[in-house]
Amino acid sequence: MQQICTVLENTPLTASVWRMRLGADTAAVTAPGQFVNVKLPGFYLRRPISICDFEEGSLTLLYKVVGRGTDAMTRIHPRHRLDVLVGLGNGYDLSKSGQTPLLVGGGVGVPPLYGLCKALLARGKAPQVILGFNTREEIFYEAEFQALGVPVYVTTVDGSYGQRGFVTDVMKDLSYTYFYTCGPLPMFRAIEKTARTSGQYSFEERMGCGFGACMGCSIETKSGAKRVCKDGPVFEREEIIW
């Protein structure tokens, strides 16, 4: 759904991660894990950003500054209006979670897991959360997850906060019925070697169009090439070819 959204908030959470809240019609957002595609003034391609949270009348996006486009986003002020494609992609399937699902987020893969955690709690589930970062200075949304009343484990590669190491160092010692994850491919490959249940991966890929026309964000699955933007970004563990 294409619409003109009003910026309500645009504030930094860390040196490189920002939170933007938009006034928007959220009718097209049907599941946690979907994303939006934002048109920025002066840039040809839209920027795909996962939805962190949504409620009637507003969307919350967390984005990391990684290039000229996202850097330009940091200079957008409240009351600015943006052209946004809302409710793109397929989100997480909550029906397979079991009672104690595990949510594993790495870096900028953390945001969609927040809305997922809220949705699982609303269904009476008891999720656990692992958040992985490189260093203490990169950590964000730990307190927001804790405020939901769920167990939250934080890892840092350099050991400056939480458990030293990677998300899999915590994952291997936990009991869970299913897993949901979002993050970089190296983390996914490590999870694939560690996970003891089925689960769902939400892929982060560069996208040209965001709605399946260009095939630029394809991955290989057991049923052929699939577009992350249209067929994903969420895929089940069993269908992915690593």
pLDDT single digits (tens) 23-60: 999 999 999 999 999 999 999 889 999 999 999 999 99
- Domain ranges for the chain: 2-88, 94-204
CATH (one of 3.40.47.10, 3.40.640.10, 3.40.50.80, 3.40.50.720) for 94-204: 3.40.50.80
**What CATH number matches the domain at 2-88, 2.40.30.10, 3.90.230.10, 1.20.120.530, 3.30.750.80?**
2.40.30.10
Residue pLDDT, tens place only, 188-231: 999 999 999 999 999 975 555 555 555 556 777 787 778 787 78
pLDDT, greater one: 141 or 203: 141
Q: How does the average pLDDT of the chain come out, rounded?
A: 93
Q: What is the 3-state secondary structure (H, E, C) of the chain?
A: CEEEEEEEEEEECCCCEEEEEEECCCCCCCCCCCEEEEECCCCCCCEEEEEEEEECCEEEEEEECCCHHHHHHCCCCCCCEEEEEEEECECCCHHHCCCCCEEEEEHHHCHHHHHHHHHHHHCCCCCEEEEEECCHHHCCCHHHHHHCCCCEEEEECCCCCCEECCHHHHHCCCCCCCEEEECCHHHHHHHHHHCCCCEEEECCCCCCCCCCCCCCCEEEECCEEEECCCCCEEEEHHHECC
The pLDDT of 8-23, averaged and rounded, is 98
Mean pLDDT in residue range 70-83: 97
